[in-house]
Amino acid sequence: MQRRSFLRWTAALGAGGAAAAAGIAAYGRWREIKPDVHHPGRAEGHYLRDRQALPPPSSVIDADVAVLGSGIAGLTAAWKLHREGVGDVLMVDGPEPFGNAAGGAHGALAYPTGAHYLPIPPQECLHVRHLLYDLGIITRDPYGPRPQYDEKLILHAPHERLLYGGKWQEGIAPRDGVPAAELAEHARFNAEMEKLHAMRGADRLKVFTLPAAHASNDPAWRRLDSITFKAWLEQNSYRAPTLLWYLDYCCRDDYGIGIDRVSAWAGLHYFCARGGEASNAEGGAWLTWPGGLQPLAEQLAKRTGARRMAGTVASVKEVNGRVEALCFTLEAGKPRTYLVRARKAICAMPLFVASRVVDNIAQYGFDPARHMPAYAPWLVTNFLLDRFPEELPEAPLSWDNVVHGTKGLGYVVSTHQDIRRQPPAQTVFTSYVALSDRDPVEARKWLQTASAEELLALAATDLRAAYGSAFDGCVQRADITLRAHAMAAPLPGFLSNAGIQALRDAHGPILFAHSDLSGFSVFEEASWWGWQAARNALA
């Protein structure tokens, strides 16, 4: 953790880039706060990267199945094994319990440090519906076309708003003040997405669906993965600036990269694959918690029945038809190790980690030099406010608040679901930034070297645009979470990645489960591969 004071009248910075320096200059009358900068897994990751020596294991733990990682894929795998009657499951949490589903709290105020919502799952996502029903989140008719959900968890209005042309408007797609010709192009795009949503390939499978493993393999549609989304838009005469901004925002929000880099198949998948319905909510509604997905992850962890161990996997290998995993914890910077032995091991970790810890991963058909996906870095910052800033009159504060034309992804309000008559005295605004405006490697280098002031300035870009200097006096503290490898980015060609396909098909003592196997990071995909790995572990 890096902790520094950020003082009123902050001085100019060094090599953080002109944008960050300008942001800090704009911070002007900023009272003292002390931003905490968190780097989940960095110390453990550098230990693995640098191949530092580890002491011999101080203990040996035996299990039938070891789940190595506690993100959504690992939790789903452990939950599925428990449902199938496997009673001896050990889960090694990894460097950050719950991974991208993690969260934090300031006293009673919970907040996300990763993912913060789950769309109502469509009927094709039976694995997610089964899980949500078991957790009591779906309360009736889990496998029907329109299940009933726990009312407390359905996102209530106002859902989202956009600051465009100095005024707030409902929704994220620009509308008010947009020329009629551009609005017509928005309408044409939406109509085309409706058609593609129902489209099926020559194999009679839906072209776009969740999980993506169930999508059509029709080559005519898979060719979309050979070009960028921007190229597809140009080919289909979509040129309206407000539409292109909106589509770019959506891709940055879900994939961490913009339309100029994302696969056309993935870009279209974002708009065509979902559409879940509920009996007690509008179509396409969301489920959300003040702490993001952490409350869901915690609830799921309790239902797994697994023994949980703190620790990070250093090595995984097959030994006489079984698996041995050497794990370690860092205590005051010094490692302590233990050995896990199991009949099966599920590597529920990102592939950039698995490639370092799985002994000779090439034997499973995955060559890190050729098959490693690109990873998008993210910056997630939670601002604890001692009062709500004053709003412009056009549209009320919403759950998701986006600013047109910036590099940020907006901010969500942790207390949005609080339905008391009077708003709470304090709240947390969570700012999201995907560093999609620069090369991912350079972005990671910048995250490692940037000062707390530079990070804070970037994190507050949208909030400063929305509230100006009035925001300054509301902030009591800020917690910054850096996710240097936040999510796999679906670049053109990701669907034909032979190495990832080989890991999907692994059926030996070592199995793999992570959203990386789909090539993009969403709950439905992570959960699917956890489900599949659990089924394979039963064999």
User: For residue range 330-351, what is the model confidence (pLDDT) as tens digits?
Assistant: 988 899 999 999 999 999 999 9
- Any idea which of 21-30, 174-183, 196-205, 363-372 has the lowest mean pLDDT? 21-30
Return the higher-pLDDT residue of 15 and 54. 54
Statement: residue 189 has pLDDT above 70: yes
Cα–Cα dist 492/228, whole Å: 6
Q: Write out the E strands in 231-311.
A: 286-287, 307-309
Reading phi first (left if > 0) and then psi (alpha if -120 to 50, else beta), residue 205 is in beta
Query: 489 with 376: CB under 8 angstroms?
Result: yes
Name the residue ranges covered by the structural domains of the chain. Answer: 2-32+374-489, 43-112+290-373+491-537, 118-286
Going by the DSSP 8-state scheme, the letter that residue 283 receives in this structure is T
Could you check whether 43-112+290-373+491-537 and 118-286 share the same CATH topology? Answer: no
Average pLDDT over residues 191-215: 98
Average pLDDT over residues 249-277: 97
The pLDDT > 70 percentage for the chain reads: 94
Longest dimension (CA), the chain: 70
Residue-wise pLDDT tens digits, 207-258: 999 999 999 999 999 999 999 999 999 999 999 999 999 999 999 999 999 9
What phi and psi, each to the nearest 5 degrees, are found at residue 91?
-115, 125
Reading phi first (left if > 0) and then psi (alpha if -120 to 50, else beta), residue 60 is in beta
- Any idea which of 26-30, 119-123, 433-437 has the lowest mean pLDDT? 26-30
* pLDDT for residue 420: 66
* pLDDT for residue 8: 30
Cα–Cα dist 217/220, whole Å: 9
Residue-wise pLDDT tens digits, 468-506: 989 989 999 999 999 999 999 999 999 999 999 999 999
Statement: residue 37 has pLDDT above 60: yes
Query: 375 with 45: CB under 8 angstroms?
Result: no
* pLDDT for residue 421: 66
Tell me the C-alpha to C-alpha distance, in Å, between residue 519 and each of 284, 321, 525: 23, 30, 9
- For 291, residues 6+ apart whose C-beta sits below 8 A from its C-beta are 103, 104, 105, 110, 111, 112, 414
Statement: residue 297 has pLDDT above 70: yes
Cα–Cα dist 505/508, whole Å: 9
**Residue 423: which pLDDT band, with cuts at 50, 70 and 90?**
confident
Average pLDDT over residues 389-410: 95
Residue-wise pLDDT tens digits, 376-399: 999 999 999 999 999 998 999 999
Cα–Cα dist 359/451, whole Å: 37
Strands 475-489 and 510-512, sheet pairing: unpaired
**Residue 418: which pLDDT band, with cuts at 50, 70 and 90?**
confident
Give the architecture-level CATH label for domain 43-112+290-373+491-537. 3-Layer(bba) Sandwich (3.50)
Average pLDDT over residues 163-180: 97
Average pLDDT over residues 87-113: 96
* pLDDT for residue 18: 43
* pLDDT for residue 33: 75
Statement: residue 403 has pLDDT above 70: yes
Q: In a 3-state reduction of DSSP, which class is residue 51? A: coil
Statement: residue 370 has pLDDT above 70: yes
What phi and psi, each to the nearest 5 degrees, are found at residue 379?
-125, 120
Query: 155 with 204: CB under 8 angstroms?
Result: no
Mean pLDDT of the chain, nearest integer: 92
Average pLDDT over residues 289-299: 97
Going by the DSSP 8-state scheme, the letter that residue 478 receives in this structure is E
- Measuring CA to CA, which residue among 182, 177, 158 is closest to residue 245? 182
Query: 387 with 425: CB under 8 angstroms?
Result: yes
The token pair at 189 is: 């795009």
Strands 307-309 and 89-92, sheet pairing: parallel
**The CATH number of the domain covering residues in 2-32+374-489:** 3.90.660
User: The domain 118-286 is classified under which CATH number: 1.10.287.70, 1.10.10.10, 1.10.405.10, 3.40.50.720?
Assistant: 1.10.405.10
What phi and psi, each to the nearest 5 degrees, are found at residue 367?
-105, 110
The token pair at 224 is: 């979309």
